[in-house]
Amino acid sequence: MALLGDARTGKLADNIAGFGRALRRAGLRVDAARIALAQEAAQLVGLERKDDLGAAMEAVLVSREQERVVFRELFDAYFRDPAIAHKLLAQMLPSAQGRKEPSKRPRVSEALAPRKHALARKPEQEIEFDAAMTASEQARLKHADFNALTASEFHLVERLAREIALPVPQFEQRRMRPGMRGPRLHWARTLRHAGHTGGELLVLRRMQRRRAPLPLLVLVDVSGSMERYARLLLAFLHAATRAHRRRDVFAFGTHLTDLTPSFRLADTDAMLAAASAAIDDFAGGTRLGASLATLREQHARRLVGRRTLVLVISDGLDTGEPEDLSRELDWLTHRCRRLLWLNPLLRFEGYAPLARGAAVLHRHAHAMLAVHNLEKLQDLARSLADLLDD
């Protein structure tokens, strides 16, 4: 492990600090405290074996299971060649010197790319970049799978998703309001108008039923395989249903978490921060059956009704018992208007719900829709209207 340098010369600490910054560019949550722990771990395990060093640094730098693959790929690429070590201090990462490896994940490739100083960009270059983004780049991102985006692309797509409208289908309420058309006459307004025309009934005012959006119940899977989809779809739903009065949002992993208070915040970024703080089983397993049981026991009277539109956002990879899931889904589908499964795995051509949880969910859901890119989110509103008209 000579590539790391001698700890007494300071190269070890500098190289680990540079590696920590590369991890941050790849989207991992690495702060100065974690980098200090990694430097201490490297000195404790020694530099004789690269595998031992990687395992020690992984233990202190990685906090979520889905980040382990990104860490290992980045670690191997960052410390591959001893000749590259002298250039790491200048923030020239390994991929600038060797051939590109298309097999790397987008987040790893972006983290290994040379970083240009922001002040070195000319105004003309920024204008050209913005113009390109409004044409070919945005067209590409519109069809790009959320899970295949780099960290910078993901943030851009998340902002674009917040601008997509989602008009929820409406229903006629029992309450009436004044209108030009309707089955009943509004005698009070009709006679009041007649008082201004000498008692002549020139205009017949009518009453029509009020219309309101269907109550919305959203269940979002926050397991490890749904990490990127969950965050982006939460941002999309918060912005798209901001004017919706009756929306209740829950996250489920190993248990149910009520995100409705977070969704009452006006700012989407503040909502995401509050939701992140509320969810304590993020990137864990998926137990939809147990979560639905909690919904039935604690929130059924407040949430579930014959008009409720239920959106289940999940890949269907449930780890609970299929019998429990089937029983809870049967209860839910008989107490709502429609249960729609929004499945990001539909990005794969020829996908079939063969997993146990997916098969049960597919059997009970009224429809399964794709939500893996911006184009599918734009189609979602039209699909909701078509399904509810059936």
Q: Is the confidence at residue 120, as pLDDT, over 80?
A: no
Q: Which residue has the tokens 């137990």?
A: 287
Verify that 204 and 303 share a domain, yes or no: no
Residue 295 pLDDT > 80? yes
In which band, very low, low, confident or very high, does the pLDDT at 114 lie, cut at 50, 70 and 90? low
Domain identity same for 274 and 230: yes
The whole-angstrom separation of Cα 255 and Cα 268 is 24
Same domain, 316 and 330: yes
Candidates 319, 340, 344, 317; CA nearest to 329 is 340
Residues 278 and 191 grouped into a single domain? no
Shared domain for 104 and 223, answered yes or no, is: no
Domain contains 159: no
102 pLDDT higher than 70: no
Looking at every residue in the chain, the average pLDDT score rounds to: 77
CATH number for position 229 = 3.40.50.410
Identify whether 137 is part of a domain: no
Pairing of strands 184-185, 170-179: unpaired
Beta-carbon count within 10 A of 214 CB: 20
- Structurally, how many domains does the chain consist of? 3
Instruction: Indicate if 193 and 308 belong to the same structural domain.
Output: no
Tokens 């994940």 belong to which residue? Answer: 105
Report, as an integer, the average pLDDT of 29-41: 83
% pLDDT > 90, the chain: 24
Answer yes or no: do 103 and 248 share one domain: no
**Residue 342's pLDDT band (boundaries 50, 70, 90)?**
very high
What radius of gyration do the chain's Cα atoms show? Answer: 27
**Do 208 and 225 fall within a single domain?**
no
Q: Are residues 52 and 108 in the same domain?
A: yes
Q: Edge to edge, what strands does the sheet with 309-313 contain?
A: 256-258, 247-252, 216-221, 309-313, 338-342, 367-369
List the domain range (segments joined by +) for residue 223.
214-389
Residues in Cβ contact with 194 at an 8 Å cutoff, skipping those fewer than 6 apart: 200, 201, 202
Residue pLDDT, tens place only, 131-183: 445 556 777 888 888 888 888 888 888 888 888 888 776 656 666 667 666 66
Greater model confidence, 185 or 125: 185
Residue 362 counted as domain residue: yes
313/207 same-domain check: no
What average pLDDT does the segment 327-346 reach? 92
Do 201 and 239 lie in a common domain? Answer: no
pLDDT mean over 366-385: 86
- pTM across the whole model: 0.62
| Amino acid in the structure at residue 240 | A
Q: What six digits make up the tokens of 366?
A: 């009224």
281 within some domain: yes
Look at residues 161, 185, 212 and tell me which one is the last residue of a structural domain.
212
Compute the average pLDDT of residues 202-208: 70
List, as one string, the DSSP characters of 357-383: HHHHHHHH-SEEE--SSHHHHHHHHHH
* Same-domain pairing of 32 and 104: yes
Domain membership flag for residue 138: no
Q: What are phi and psi of 28, to 5 degrees?
A: -85, 150
Which among 212, 231, 263 is the end of a domain? 212
Exposed, middle or buried, 125 (CB in 10 Å: 0-12/13-18/19+)? exposed
Residue where one domain finishes, among candidates 89, 115, 141? 115
CA distance to 306, 366, 377, per residue, from 337 (Å): 5, 10, 21
